[in-house]
């Protein structure tokens, strides 16, 4: 018995050292070869159950055997978010610094629900979110020195949920809790689906979640006039507007809602104004992009995902609020078994009361390491480089008259589509064509892009954001897109053997499109 663990030594420091080195080598080799994997996994549903036993082993297996299985059975089923050829969704950056933070956090493996359960975890989180808040030039009220502060959530979904709950309960404390059915939330049809999900969870009636229509006239940004009208109408029929969500960098097209005007509307109606900058927030540490946050000083809460485009491994979603008590009033519980002197004396922050779960990991370590090991200037240049690569891709697309850019590019997302042949320009045909192109390029395993719908148009999205992506990868991605487009557009002819199999030179389908000059390599 004195050997601990009944013979098993699950926490032997020398075994941890030896096996830990092996696993680090495995990961380093993975990165070394990452371009050789199909970026989008090409397995069929249910592939893995055929490869693994149907029960856990009774006796231990060797690490080598497990690593062999990772290589031969798990990696083929992985979609490689860290591949330089990953352009889908929004990125989820890994980095050496973020990876080191994860190792350290896993090693310490503490559960920081209350300050006392590891004071350093709470305090480092407050400090690092103040650092990041200052980089983003957030107003003082969002920093920890006043009534507000920052907190790391698992995701932007949790961030919008907790502030929605805070706003809901603040309103219900004024109007009485029986008014829940009258509460109304506003966003746009471009707002992330997390808002709708948060409403479902919080018991907001689905028909009281207003996802107001946008269109190309505002580049898919939320129109203040439409918000004002909706609010006035709702008030006139006895409903209670209480929450407005603005976005800086929507998921579909990275558009930016007019924060100032929205904040003003929210304020004059006593509503909570939340700003979701999950993706584009990172870019706003560069002075030239900070303008997109103008108006955030009037918001009640602000969120950006350091785990997207800020080199901090998933998960690390940074949320700031001006009134931390609003969060705490909604989310606190105070069972006897968690009481302790520091909490009872109100001397400390207990982050359990700022989030949905009780337990929480030491996630600030990785953000701290990213900021320290890279430094602000490198981080700014890292983001600028991706934006420049996206601009380069946009120019490539713009020079090929077979394609069109569908929405203006502000950051590192390019929205584009393949134009249908001249005699087939109705939406359904066009949408089918682009859906086929998406399937075709993703099936090559050489690039992974995703899509969205803008004004009913099936639109391809290419986001530059993986740490390993270089200009040569953009060139290769564009070549795959051109090749597959050629195949799709020409396939009936090809079958008749009337056209060459290689793609045409740019301008083959020339129709007078005015091209931007290509940037110098």
In the window 11-70, what residues touch a second copy (CB under 8 A)?
11-17, 19-21, 23-32, 40-41, 43, 45-49, 52, 54-61, 63, 65-66, 70
Taking the complex as a whole, the smallest distance from the CB of residue 499 to a second copy amounts, in Å, to 29
Contact letters for a second copy, residues 143-182 (x by CB under 8 A): -----------xxxxx--x---x--xx-------xx-xx-
Q: Which stretch binds a second copy (CB under 8 A): 99-107, 399-407, 494-502, 509-517?
A: 99-107
Q: Which stretch binds a second copy (CB under 8 A): 266-274, 329-337, 420-428, 496-504?
A: 329-337
Among 274, 307, 322, 417, binds a second copy (CB under 8 A): 307
Among 210, 274, 324, 361, binds a second copy (CB under 8 A): 361
**79 near a second copy, judged by CB under 8 A:** yes
For residues 114 and 338, the answer to whether their CB atoms sit within 8 Å is yes
For residues 455 and 215, the answer to whether their CB atoms sit within 8 Å is yes
| Run of H or E residues at 23 | helix 13-32
Decide whether 116 or 506 has the Cβ nearer to a second copy: 116
Contact letters for a second copy, residues 208-237 (x by CB under 8 A): ------------------------------
Residues 402-461 that bind a second copy (CB under 8 A): 439, 450-453, 461
| Run of H or E residues at 242 | strand 240-247
* Three-state DSSP class for residue 504: coil
Decide whether 265 or 406 has the Cβ nearer to a second copy: 406
Taking the complex as a whole, the smallest distance from the CB of residue 266 to a second copy amounts, in Å, to 22
For residues 231 and 186, the answer to whether their CB atoms sit within 8 Å is yes
**78 near a second copy, judged by CB under 8 A:** yes
Q: Could you give the C-alpha distances from 454 to 55, 219, 221, 404, in angstroms and in order?
A: 47, 10, 12, 13
Among 328, 358, 440, 476, binds a second copy (CB under 8 A): 358
| Run of H or E residues at 253 | none
Q: Which residues contact 499 (CB under 8 A, 6 or more apart)?
A: 490, 493
**205 near a second copy, judged by CB under 8 A:** yes
d(CA 202, CA 183): 11
**104 near a second copy, judged by CB under 8 A:** yes
Residues 378-397 that bind a second copy (CB under 8 A): 378-379, 381-382, 384-385, 388-389
- Three-class DSSP labels, 300-350: CEEEEEHHHHCCCCCCCEEEEECCHHHHHHHHCCCCHHHCCHHHHCCCCCC
Strand partners, 211: 187
């Amino acid at each position: 018995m004195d050997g601990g663990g009944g013979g098993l030594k699950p926490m032997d420091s020398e075994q941890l050292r030896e096996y830990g080195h092996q696993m680090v080598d495995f990961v380093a080799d993975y990165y070394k070869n990452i371009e050789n994997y199909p970026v989008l996994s090409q397995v069929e549903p249910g592939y893995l159950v055929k490869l693994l036993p149907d029960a856990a082993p009774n006796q231990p297996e060797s690490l080598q055997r497990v690593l062999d299985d990772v290589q031969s059975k798990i990696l083929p089923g992985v979609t490689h978010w860290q591949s330089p050829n990953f352009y889908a969704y929004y990125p989820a950056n890994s980095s050496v610094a973020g990876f080191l933070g994860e190792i350290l956090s896993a090693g310490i493996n503490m559960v920081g629900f209350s300050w006392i359960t590891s004071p350093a975890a709470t305090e480092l989180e407050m400090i690092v979110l103040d650092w990041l808040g200052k980089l983003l030039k957030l107003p003082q009220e969002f920093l920890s020195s006043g009534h507000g502060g920052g907190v790391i959530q698992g995701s932007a979904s949790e961030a919008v949920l907790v502030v929605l709950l805070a706003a809901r309960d603040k309103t219900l404390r004024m109007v009485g809790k029986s008014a829940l059915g009258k509460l109304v939330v506003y966003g746009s049809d471009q707002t992330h689906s997390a808002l709708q999900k948060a409403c479902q969870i919080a018991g907001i009636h689905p028909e009281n979640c207003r996802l107001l229509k946008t269109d190309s006239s505002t580049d898919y940004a939320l129109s203040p006039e439409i918000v004002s009208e909706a609010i006035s109408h709702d008030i006139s029929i006895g409903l209670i507007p209480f929450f407005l969500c603005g976005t800086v960098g929507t998921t579909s097209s990275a558009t930016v809602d007019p924060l100032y005007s929205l904040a003003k509307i929210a304020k004059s109606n006593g509503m909570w104004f939340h700003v979701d900058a999950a993706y584009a927030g990172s870019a706003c540490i560069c002075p030239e992009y900070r303008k997109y946050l103008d108006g955030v000083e009037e918001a009640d809460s602000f969120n950006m995902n350091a785990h997207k485009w800020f080199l901090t491994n998933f998960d690390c979603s940074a949320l700031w609020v001006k009134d931390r008590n609003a969060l705490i009033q909604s989310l606190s519980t105070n069972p006897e078994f968690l009481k302790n002197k520091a909490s009872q004396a109100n001397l400390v922050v207990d982050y359990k009361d700022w989030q949905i779960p009780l337990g929480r990991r030491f996630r600030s370590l990785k953000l701290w390491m990213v900021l320290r090991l890279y430094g602000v200037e490198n981080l700014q240049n890292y983001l600028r480089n991706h934006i420049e690569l996206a601009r380069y891709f946009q120019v490539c697309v713009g020079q090929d008259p077979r394609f069109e850019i569908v929405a203006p590019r502000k950051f590192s997302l390019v929205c584009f589509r393949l134009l249908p042949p001249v005699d087939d320009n109705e939406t359904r045909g066009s949408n089918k064509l682009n859906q086929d192109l998406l399937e075709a390029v993703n099936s090559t395993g050489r690039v992974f892009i995703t899509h969205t719908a803008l004004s009913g148009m099936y639109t391809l999205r290419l986001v530059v954001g993986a740490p390993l992506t270089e200009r040569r990868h953009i060139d290769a991605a564009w070549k795959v897109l051109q090749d597959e487009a050629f195949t799709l557009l020409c396939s009936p002819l090809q079958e008749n053997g009337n056209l060459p199999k290689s793609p045409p030179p740019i301008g083959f389908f020339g129709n007078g499109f005015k091209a931007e000059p290509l940037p110098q390599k």
